Amino acid sequence: MRAREPAPALPGRRGPGQAARLAWALVLGLSLAPSLGAQDGITLDIPGARVFTAQEVLGALAEAYPGRFSPARKVGSDWGTELDGKLFLWADGRLLPASLAEAASSYAPQPFYAYPLEGPVIKAPSPAERSRMEAVLAQRDRNPPSRNPEFLDRLWDASSEAQAWANQKRLRFLGKEILLHRDLLEELSRVEADIVALADKDAEVAAWADGLGSVSSYYWRDIAGTQSRSYHSYGAAIDLVPKRSGGRAWYWLDARASGLDWMALPASARIKIPKAVIEAFEARGFVWGGKWSFWDSVHFEYRPEILLLNGQRPKVQEALR
């Protein structure tokens, strides 16, 4: 995912903008279904939740982005890998340059989490779970999580807004024009082809596609309520917003601000995306924010390493075998 040739100039336009408050993604995948994550630096100690080792994560990254990562190796007392020739240490999940490893506690972890391949299974949290979640969110509100951006900046070749912008390409997806990272054009085009084929024989998919209001990807910003860069900043996430919500919620933080019991909000009260569409995205390496307990029902982002960690092999990895 390195820049190859300059992106075409798009005068007077910096990003889709209209989804500024929609799907502020990269938020926690926690266990209402059996999943736990640290999507925006929120972590909870959930008994029995799957926690991945440094070797597992670094191995999944190497498989997900072929040719980019060196094999995982011990570096002193830590594990490390080189991304395009630059060494990053695990540092308790922070993935930091060696020069910053001693300051690991200053940063929130990178998000590598259990992701349910089915679901989500939505149920009200127990009083103890609710108390833990509220305590962590109170801490998040007081001290917004901050991940060091150098790992993702190097992964997506975008250490500044100008550099991120240079990586974007125009693409039409389901009839809507978006800006997307150049290295994801082929994968998203394949997702579109799969959805179009599905719509020919699946009335639910056809109705969903017909009701699509806007599609957006690139937008340089931090995740809402954090000091951590969003995957939208790299053009590696996509929001699919319907023309009409029907009164349904799409994002946990908006639901929380509206006074809804967002932790237990039933599926019928959330924006719905057909299961076949979700599977079409997952088959090409994208995860769906609707499966996170801190849910984002209109959001997908390119995370093939998450799928690999959870036993699902995206087709792009199958093709590389």
- Predicted confidence (pLDDT) per residue in 202-233, tens digit: 999 999 999 999 999 999 987 766 677 899 99
Instruction: Name the maximum alpha-carbon separation found in the chain.
Output: 57
How high is the pLDDT of residue 243? 95
**Is 15 within the bounds of a domain?**
no
Burial class for 144, CB neighbours closer than 10 Å (0-12, 13-18, 19+):
middle
Q: What percent of the chain is modeled with pLDDT above 90? A: 67
pLDDT value, residue 321: 52
Domain assignment present for 69: no
Q: For 276, which DSSP code? A: H
Q: What is the overall mean pLDDT for the chain?
A: 84
Q: What's the DSSP call for residue 108?
A: P
- Flag whether pLDDT at 53 surpasses 80: yes
Domain-located, residue 36:
no
Three-point CA angle 98, 100, 101, nearest 5°? 65
Average pLDDT over residues 26-52: 45
Q: What is the pLDDT of residue 319?
A: 53
Whether the pLDDT of residue 54 is over 80: the answer is yes
- Domain holding 297, by residue range, is 118-320
pLDDT of residue 51: 86
Cα separation, 29 vs 111, in Å, equals 9
At residue 32, does pLDDT exceed 70? no
Overall pTM surpassing 0.95 (yes/no)? no
Report the number of distinct structural domains present in the chain. Answer: 1
Assigned domain for 53 exists: no
pLDDT at 225: 66
CA distances from 198 to 185, 191, 201, 241, 276 (A): 20, 11, 6, 19, 8
Is the per-residue pLDDT at 15 higher than 60?
A: no
Residue 201 lies in a domain: yes
